[in-house]
Structure 1
């Protein structure tokens, strides 16, 4: 089974994190994930140690979470929110080549927050070829605008995607502007590849900017480089 790593799902992750929603408790780290058995990438605990310790101006919202990707609490919350979300373009919520992450890959995640804003860093252990597919994935042209409904709440979304970047060993940056009633929010995602891992930085809030998201991604890369062999 694979977890979609697309703007819609990343948006759900940001929303779930921002709402602080409860959910199933993530399983603790034990045993060895398939990627680790194959000698590819890092263990979940190694990735946890490589997470950012602090983000200036933000406070850490909770203890870091580590384990198989599909067991992380924020990922589980996002999956539940996605199941409850109705899209006006259902094809934009389907998986496609280069847009999936196996739920059993080793991963670690941490979230920082300040009033109205959140920063989430996720590190996932995977082979370089798989990470490169994620960096090279692109949003289909007909999915650059879409509408969602969760219960009685409706929202309009507009997506922008920049050309491939040079953070780490290659990166992609995606922005989503969301309007729901009188509320306007922005979400920026930076996905970059490191040695045997993939990282994502999600910046969510009314004043989120591409520049800040990419600055945080560079900080993530610099810190992880010091920790991971």
Structure 2
């Protein structure tokens, strides 16, 4: 599982707002792709409807970018958009190809999931994802590490090359355990940052993705704390 955080950073950085904007469930004009909420899988305890209710209702300084989306992991519009976008990305290091999956790669596509995105005027976005997950599975995600040799890499979308530099923090203590990864991307004259915080809760995994030219680790981890506290208040 060492590669499961880096890939979304690759695609987020190269596609800029395309990926993160899709996490908002489009602009509200289109019907979100959802499936009927099923009983929670054995060992997880939560349905996607419960997870949606446990998402952050608001973030200070941001506006919610569309309605939250929830359902089976593979049915969510953000994930389907990601799958399509992933096919357009070329890595300069073929040995890092296994890193070209999303966070929580390998998770069953029927896993109950909920996603919400917030945006503010400077082009910065914050996305929260909650997934129903057993304690052991969530722990594996938190213990994941960026693969060797992939702390710097280049990606190409169309004719545009982007350079990426990855920072991985030591294991954290948010929630039941956490990890933080930052990616700085240079594409032409543009410089952007993406921070990811993944943390384990009681039968759930939470991910905060903070993207923008002024994104900081401190803010990403602050949002992760708020997301964990909110989920703990709501989920039984």
TM-score if structure 2 supplies the norm length? Answer: 0.87
Distance apart, 1:77 and its partner CA: 1.5
Distance apart, 1:25 and its partner CA: 6.0
Correspondence for 2:109: 103
Correspondence for 2:231: 224
Whole-Å separation in 1 of the counterparts to 2:54 and 2:10: 24
SS at 2:226 equivalent? helix
1:59-115 CA deviation, whole Å, 9 max, x = no partner? 00010000011221112212211111000112323169x853222210000000012
Whole-Å separation in 2 of the counterparts to 1:130 and 1:106: 14
Correspondence for 2:59: 55
Whole-Å separation in 2 of the counterparts to 1:39 and 1:78: 28
SS at 2:208 equivalent? strand
Task: Say yes or no: does 1:130 pair with 2:137.
Answer: yes
Correspondence for 2:149: 142
Residue 13 to residue 125, structure 1, CA distance change in 2 (3 Å): farther
Whole-Å separation in 2 of the counterparts to 1:160 and 1:84: 24
Correspondence for 1:40: 44
Task: Say yes or no: does 1:9 pair with 2:18.
Answer: no
SS at 1:94 equivalent? helix
Task: Flag as ranges the 4+ runs of structure 1 deviating above 6 A.
Answer: none
Number of residue pairs the alignment of both structures matches: 223
1:185 alignment partner, one of 164, 167, 192: 192
Kindly indicate which of the two structures has a greater share of residues assigned to strand: 1
Q: Which runs of 5+ in 2 are unaligned?
A: none
Correspondence for 1:76: 80
Residue 146 to residue 132, structure 1, CA distance change in 2 (3 Å): same
* Aligned 8 A contact 1:8 1:93 in 2: no
Correspondence for 1:27: 33
1:163 alignment partner, one of 164, 170, 176: 170
Correspondence for 2:206: 199
Q: Which runs of 5+ in 1 are unaligned?
A: none
Residue 193 to residue 19, structure 1, CA distance change in 2 (3 Å): closer
Task: Say yes or no: does 1:209 pair with 2:216.
Answer: yes
SS at 2:85 equivalent? helix
Whole-Å separation in 1 of the counterparts to 2:180 and 2:106: 17
Distance apart, 1:194 and its partner CA: 0.3
Distance apart, 1:26 and its partner CA: 4.4
1:104-145 CA deviation, whole Å, 9 max, x = no partner? 210000000012100000000010000000000000120101
* Aligned 8 A contact 1:87 1:147 in 2: yes
TM-score if structure 1 supplies the norm length? Answer: 0.90
- The Cα RMSD (Å) is 2.3
Task: Say yes or no: does 1:90 pair with 2:94.
Answer: yes
